[in-house]
Amino acid sequence: MQENEVNGMGGEQFDWQALMGAQLSGMTPPKLDTAQLMAWQQQYLQAMLAGPKAAAQDRRFAHKAWQGGDLHAQMAAWYVLHNEHLNGLRQILAGSGHQGEQAAFMMEQWLAAMAPSNYLPFNPEALELAKQTNGASLQQGLANLLADLQQGRISQTDESVFEVGKNVATTPGDVVFENDFIQLIQYRPTTPKVHALPFLLVPPCINKYYILDLQPENSLVKYVVDQGHTVFLVSWRNPLPGEGMEHATWDDYLNEGPVDAINAVRAITGAEQINALGFCVGGTLLASALAALAAKKQRPVASLTLLTTLLDFTEPGILGVFVDEAQVAMREAQFANGGLMPARDLNSAFSALRPNDLVWNYVVGNYLKGERPPAFDLLYWNSDSTNLSGPMFAQYLRRLYIDNALAKGELHSLGVRLDLSSIDVPIYVYSSREDHIVPWGSAYASAQALQARDLRFVLGASGHIAGVINPASKNKRNFWVGRAGKLPATADAWFDAATEKPGSWWPDWAAWLSKHGGGMKPAPKKAGSAKFPAIEPAPGRYVKVRAI
- 35 pLDDT band, cuts 50/70/90, is confident
* Average pLDDT estimate for 254-272: 98
- 8 pLDDT band, cuts 50/70/90, is very low
The secondary structure element, H or E, covering residue 47 is: helix 34-50
Spatial neighbors of 164 by CB under 8 A, at least 6 apart, are: 208, 210, 384, 539, 543, 544
Three-class SS of residue 307?
strand
> Which phi and psi (to 5°) does residue 131 adopt?
-65, -45
Q: Is 205 a catalytic residue?
A: no
* Average pLDDT estimate for 387-393: 96
Nearest to 218 by CA among 267, 283, 168, 150: 168
Q: Tens of pLDDT along 86-106?
A: 888 878 877 767 777 878 888
The secondary structure element, H or E, covering residue 479 is: strand 478-481
Q: Tens of pLDDT along 393-443?
A: 999 999 999 999 999 999 999 999 999 999 999 999 999 999 989 999 999
Q: Are 9 and 437 in contact (CB under 8 A)?
A: yes
Active-site entry in 115, 176, 280, 346:
280
Task: Kindly tell me the sign of the dihedral angle through the C-alpha atoms of 180, 184, 185, 186.
Answer: negative
Largest Cα span, the chain: 79
Domains observed in the chain: 3-152+349-382 (no CATH), 173-342+387-544 (3.40.50.1820)
- 353 pLDDT band, cuts 50/70/90, is confident
Q: pTM (2 decimals)?
A: 0.89
pLDDT, the chain, mean = 90
- What is the pLDDT at residue 380? 92
